[in-house]
Structure 1
Amino acid sequence: MMNSKKRLFRNTLYLYILTFSSYFFSLIAIPYQTRILGPEFYGKVGFAFAMMIYFRLFIDFGFILSATADISKQRENKLAVSKIYTAVMCAKGWLTMISSVILFLICFLVPMFRHDWLLYVLTFSAVAVSAFLPDFLYRGLETMKRITVRTLIIQAFFVLMIFLFLKTPQQYYFVPLFTLIGNAVALIFALVHVSRSLRIKLIPLEKGYLKRTILKASPFFFSRIATTVYQATNTFFLGLVYSPGNVRVGMYVASDRLVVTANAAFSPIADSLYPYMVKHRDFRLLKKISMIVMPPVIVGCIMLGVYANEFMAFLLGAEFYDAGSILRLLLPVVAITPMTYMLGFPTLSPMGLAKHANISTIVSALVQIIGVATLLWTGTFQITSLCLVTVISQSTVLLYRAIIVWKNRHHFERKE
């Protein structure tokens, strides 16, 4: 148990190095991008990346959760790990080909996308290449050092290229281009490491194994699709209603990007706890972490809400001062995110209730879809009302999971 806890601590540390490096590089790259591109072109890039999130999730298909858990359980069995690895990579290959055809049809048939087809092709390519990075393997083996070092190099490369070459708003396509190059280099090194150092190879699969792997991942896929109703669909609908180059879209994208970045600060806890909790069911540790994390998060959100406009102007440039009002509306999402993460798969999976983690996000997605549809139907669709619907839908996830955990608390009280 002590060795497992040391591994948990080590992987959590690497994940936090990874996350805070993202903060560091974002604090350099995003303000530079917003100042060079302005709200209009920054909104275009944000709209493209929001659209590609759907393709990324389709290619990932929930393997980051299902395959991570399978590898965690089979990590001592090299043959079993190789089979899982092979099945996931083959599945992603097929899903990428399907996605490519869909994107081609969209860019060919829809004038708005055809006009900016290079932006969407480059963004899709960057996202597709990133989807093939075998993070599920490293997470399952709990060897996060490799992911951390690789990502640091990608981020440093991206920031350097942006500073060297992004000089005018019309060069906005450099953002996905340099992302693509960085991801491609990282993928090559990752595949070589898996093959030569970890000695995990692509091997023949028995009949039906690939299908079973996809079916096992499907509940996680639908759950992850549901979570994007907030992250991607808001930006996507705003782009469709106002046009991707509208200043209001750029303001929302900037605010949403900061919220997503803040939420990413909490994901290392859940990501490292998930394989650990599947194996050890240490619910007492979850309680301690919750009590440490939540008070500073709540206080920080309150303070940021008070000075939101000044913060946005200072960080992103004077043109983004009014984006502070949007950030202020979205801050409750940040405040509830730590508990939402920890009451998800790290808690519900070892309780034998993982399906409820998926159901909670699906319920939240339905709330978001109904809310957005109502806004469009009643003619009240605007950024303020969209943010309100988003906070309600995200709160639904936490409320649902809290109720399920409370009703089934006997599952973990005996283990403490």
Structure 2
Amino acid sequence: MKDMKKKRLLHNTLFLYALTFSGYFFSLITVPYQTRVLGPEFYGKVGFAIAMMTYFRLVIDFGFILSATADISQHREDKQEVAKIYTAVMRAKMLFTGLSFAVLLSICYFVPMFRQDISLYLLTFASVAVSAFLPDFLYRGLETMKRITIRTVAIQAFFVLMIFLFLKTPQQYYFVPLFTLIGNAVALILAQRHVSKKLGIKFVPLEKGYLHETIRKSSPFFFSRIAATMYQVTNTFFLGLMYSPGNVKVGMYVASDRLVGTAKSAFSPIADSLYPYMVKNRDFRLLKKIMWIIMPPVTIGCIVLGIYANEFMALFLGAAFYDAGSILRILLPIVAITPLVYMLGFPTLSPMGLAKHANASTVVSAIVQLIGLTVLFLTGTFTITTLCAITVVSQFTVLLYRVIIVWKNRHIFSEKEPIKDVSKT
């Protein structure tokens, strides 16, 4: 039985990596093309819109990618309970989408800077909202990643084709969210058909209070994800407000941050596939072995890239982005520690019964980030360089917090019985 579980873990990890590396492949084609066609100014506009909509995406998702994944994993043999979880999550997302759309319309109406580019923001919101309804939490919880992989690769291929066919001038920057929206809409229709027809999971009536309880149970994960995403999204958002979304400096930062985000996502398949596996099996020895395999090549790779950062940016994104290498160089320590941050998070702390500390660590990090930003503003030392430095410090805070908690509770590793998750009590 244990061998079958490990086989399923390996199978899903491979599909997650196929999904991730397909994203790298398409990015290698499209990102350099976009940066060359749009230039730093319009590429910065698109990046600012995506950063802003990430806030709404977090609200719509509300941490269900973690809470609902764990619930589905624990009840996967009970189809009726799975259907209830699925129904509650989708209803909650409908509610949060309506609220988010109302807020966005108000912002675009009252703030001239947003009103001038309202089509960009509405298209980006629509693409993000549709993507949020894709039932990834269901497939992850059931550990059937094949469907997600095929669907996502198809979306990416469509996006690449449309970008090459139609994006020809900087003024067509709104094509980026438009083609993403079309691809996500098609994927959502196909995913819903598969869930209903093949998996036999349909929307079901919910007893009174079930929806409220689902939202309440996911709220710690929501605040955790808000905090974890704060540096990446808020940095771009603040830079856009300070310099205007079309400023070259914003474009330089967005390009560097996009590459850091892409590098970080290389490690998410391991953590994502380990999370439901660890919740059920608590195989800490396997987790430790994976860390020892991953960390040396990641560290060496970051050092080499840091030495040649400017040349890499010019070669990859175009000569106009040569100076972005100095930004990338400062942010690279975040990439180096990401495998440890991810794996010492929910895959380790949830089976230890300490999931609340995975959430708390990101909240503490967000507080450090906000304090740092406040100090920079008050002392007049706010620059892209100091912003990046504060960001690195805040991300190291996450790692330090999790290392301390794991070390203090290391006796749990030798315990055989599952530990009750204290975050849910």
Moved more, 226-235 or 29-38: 226-235
Write the letter of the residue equivalent to 2:397: T
Distance in 1 of aligned mates of 2:172 and 2:208: 48
Alignment partner, residue 193 of structure 1? 194
Alignment partner, residue 322 of structure 1? 323
Write the letter of the residue equivalent to 2:97: T
- Please tell me whether the aligned partners of residues 49 and 123 of structure 1 are also in contact (alpha carbons under 8 angstroms): yes
- Runs of 4+, deviation exceeding 6 Å: none
Write the letter of the residue equivalent to 2:67: S
Alignment of 1:75-224 (within 5 A): 75-224=76-225
Distance in 1 of aligned mates of 2:297 and 2:27: 22
Write the letter of the residue equivalent to 2:267: F
Alignment partner, residue 57 of structure 1? 58
Alignment of 1:251-330 (within 5 A): 251-330=252-331
- Please tell me whether the aligned partners of residues 282 and 415 of structure 1 are also in contact (alpha carbons under 8 angstroms): no
Alignment of 1:24-63 (within 5 A): 24-63=25-64
Write the letter of the residue equivalent to 2:30: A
- Please tell me whether the aligned partners of residues 229 and 369 of structure 1 are also in contact (alpha carbons under 8 angstroms): no
Distance in 2 of aligned mates of 1:232 and 1:376: 18
Write the letter of the residue equivalent to 1:257: R
SS in 2 for 1:232: helix
Distance in 2 of aligned mates of 1:2 and 1:167: 52
Alignment partner, residue 8 of structure 2? 7
Please, what is the CA RMSD of the aligned residues? 0.8
Distance in 1 of aligned mates of 2:416 and 2:338: 26
- Segments of 5+ residues of structure 2 without an aligned counterpart are 418-425
Question: Over residues 313-335 of structure 1, what are the superposed CA-to-partner deviations in whole Å (9 max), with x where a residue is unaligned?
Answer: 00000000000000000000000
Alignment partner, residue 421 of structure 2? none
Distance in 1 of aligned mates of 2:73 and 2:232: 29
Question: Over residues 249-275 of structure 1, what are the superposed CA-to-partner deviations in whole Å (9 max), with x where a residue is unaligned?
Answer: 000000000000000000000000000
SS in 1 for 2:224: helix
CA drift of 1:229 comes to: 1.2
Write the letter of the residue equivalent to 2:211: L
Alignment partner, residue 394 of structure 2? 393
Count of matched residue positions in the alignment of Structure 1 and Structure 2: 416
Write the letter of the residue equivalent to 1:226: A
Write the letter of the residue equivalent to 2:390: V
Alignment partner, residue 74 of structure 1? 75
SS in 2 for 1:203: coil
Alignment partner, residue 23 of structure 1? 24
- Please tell me whether the aligned partners of residues 283 and 415 of structure 1 are also in contact (alpha carbons under 8 angstroms): no
Question: Over residues 124-177 of structure 1, what are the superposed CA-to-partner deviations in whole Å (9 max), with x where a residue is unaligned?
Answer: 000000000000000000000000000000000001000000000000000000
Moved more, 149-158 or 368-377: 368-377
SS in 2 for 1:352: coil
Distance in 2 of aligned mates of 1:150 and 1:227: 27
Write the letter of the residue equivalent to 2:141: G
Distance in 1 of aligned mates of 2:392 and 2:164: 35
Distance in 2 of aligned mates of 1:241 and 1:157: 35
SS in 2 for 1:205: coil
Distance in 2 of aligned mates of 1:363 and 1:254: 27
- Please tell me whether the aligned partners of residues 305 and 328 of structure 1 are also in contact (alpha carbons under 8 angstroms): yes
Write the letter of the residue equivalent to 1:213: T
- Segments of 5+ residues of structure 1 without an aligned counterpart are none
Alignment of 1:207-246 (within 5 A): 207-246=208-247
Distance in 1 of aligned mates of 2:402 and 2:240: 32
Distance in 2 of aligned mates of 1:382 and 1:51: 20
Distance in 2 of aligned mates of 1:95 and 1:219: 16
Alignment partner, residue 407 of structure 1? 408
Distance in 2 of aligned mates of 1:258 and 1:382: 20
CA drift of 1:378 comes to: 1.3
Distance in 2 of aligned mates of 1:415 and 1:201: 37
Question: Over residues 26-48 of structure 1, what are the superposed CA-to-partner deviations in whole Å (9 max), with x where a residue is unaligned?
Answer: 00000000000000000000000
CA drift of 1:230 comes to: 1.1
Question: Over residues 372-400 of structure 1, what are the superposed CA-to-partner deviations in whole Å (9 max), with x where a residue is unaligned?
Answer: 11111111111000000000000000000
Question: Over residues 176-225 of structure 1, what are the superposed CA-to-partner deviations in whole Å (9 max), with x where a residue is unaligned?
Answer: 00000000000000000000000000000000000000000000000000
CA drift of 1:415 comes to: 4.7
- Please tell me whether the aligned partners of residues 43 and 249 of structure 1 are also in contact (alpha carbons under 8 angstroms): yes
Question: Over residues 50-94 of structure 1, what are the superposed CA-to-partner deviations in whole Å (9 max), with x where a residue is unaligned?
Answer: 000000000000000000000000001000000000000000000
CA drift of 1:413 comes to: 3.1
CA drift of 1:414 comes to: 4.0
